[in-house]
Amino acid sequence: MNQNLQPKIQLNNGLLMPQVGLGVWKTPLDVTRKMVSDALANGYVLLDTAKQYGNESAVGQGMQDAFNSTGRTRQSIFLTTKIYNGDQGSYDRVRKGFEGQLKALQTDYVDLLLMHWPVNDLYNQTWQAMEKIYANGQAKAIGVCNFNVERMSDLLDHAKITPAINQIEFNPKIHQPAIVNFCQQHGIQMEAWSPLGNGRLLHEPIIEKIAHSHQKTPAQIELRWAIQHDLIVIPKTTHLDRMKENADIFDFELSPEECIQIDSLDTEEHAIWYDKFKWSGNPDGIDNVIADPESFR
């Protein structure tokens, strides 16, 4: 098995989490099933999905396909999913939604359960429900996504368990230093979604020049840069050759000068939809705010 894809990061509860994984945002069911099976057959360990993506059932079937074809077991996979905004609130509400997710994924536990968004007036109650799910062993670790300093501070004031992860948008164009520094100070591991910036940076001259000097691709440079910033990364690709490429980033290192050059690309501009998101207190109304699945990560 590819050693590059084995656990590399120890979370604050002692759990080991792979530093490179596969994201499956916005992929159709048949494509998702195949990409998950291909990834696991080629040594991937970390899979990242969510109820909002609408493809948890395909992730579950892709895992079963890989188990049947390779002999791998559920215990060899690090599976992440996320609490859907429409399921946030009381323990009963969160629990009911999560049980449906486990059924779709064909498993009785997840390795990491994340809160997909800090929905106003609900995220503390949702976190309390997730703490109970963690206590009963159905999640080996719990964390959050898209929390800024204000909301993370509030969560920590009310939480019994410190989140293991905060998954945020992070790539050479957006660094979010305030929340990154805050989480690092509190022992919360950062994880990057959209680490390749939706491909916007693959033809950036600075990155192309650095890639040429290392005989690597621009995508590998971007992922290596994030790794050297101590983040976990979950790039999405449906192509097996690119999955292999994304994993092949541990045989070289960027110099401090190269990292500074890439750092200089920061514009702190979120994905085009991000700042339009409403921190709605109505869990049933979230999908009316974010109606386009392409605009939700």
Q: Which residues contact 129 (CB under 8 A, 6 or more apart)?
A: 89, 90, 91, 93, 94, 95
For the chain, the average pLDDT equals 90
For the residues of 120-144, what is the DSSP string, one character each? Answer: TTTHHHHHHHHHHHHHTTSBS-EEE
Determine, yes or no, domain membership for 291.
no
Token pair recorded at residue 269:
């501009």
Residues 178-198 have a mean pLDDT of 95
**Residue 175 belongs to some domain of the structure:** yes
DSSP reduced 3-state for 80: strand
One of 44, 53, 84, 134 is an active-site residue; which one? 53
Would you say residue 282 has pLDDT above 70? no
Give domain status of residue 82, yes or no: yes
**Tens digits of per-residue pLDDT, 204-227?**
999 999 999 999 999 999 999 999
CATH number, domain of 77, equals 3.20.20.100
Query: Is 227 inside any structural domain?
Result: yes
In this structure, the strands spanning 189-193 and 165-169 are parallel
For the cut 90, the answer to whether the pLDDT of residue 38 exceeds it is yes
Instruction: State yes or no: is 53 an active-site residue.
Output: yes
Position 293 in a domain: no
Q: What is the pLDDT of residue 8?
A: 84
Q: Does residue 12 sit within a domain?
A: yes
How many domains is the chain built from?
Answer: 1
Residue 286 pLDDT greater than 60, yes or no: no
Given this model, what pLDDT does residue 3 score? 54
> How much of the chain exceeds pLDDT 70, in percent?
89
Lowest mean pLDDT among 22-26, 199-203, 277-281: 277-281
8 HSE (CA, 13 A, CB side):
21
pLDDT score at 200: 81
In a domain, 169, yes or no: yes
- Does 229 appear as a known binding residue? no
Predicted local confidence at residue 287, as pLDDT: 42
Kind plus residue range of the DSSP H or E element containing 39: helix 29-41
Residue at 18 is within a domain: yes
Domain, as residue range, for 21: 3-282
Torsion of CA 278, 283, 289, 293, to 10 degrees: 110
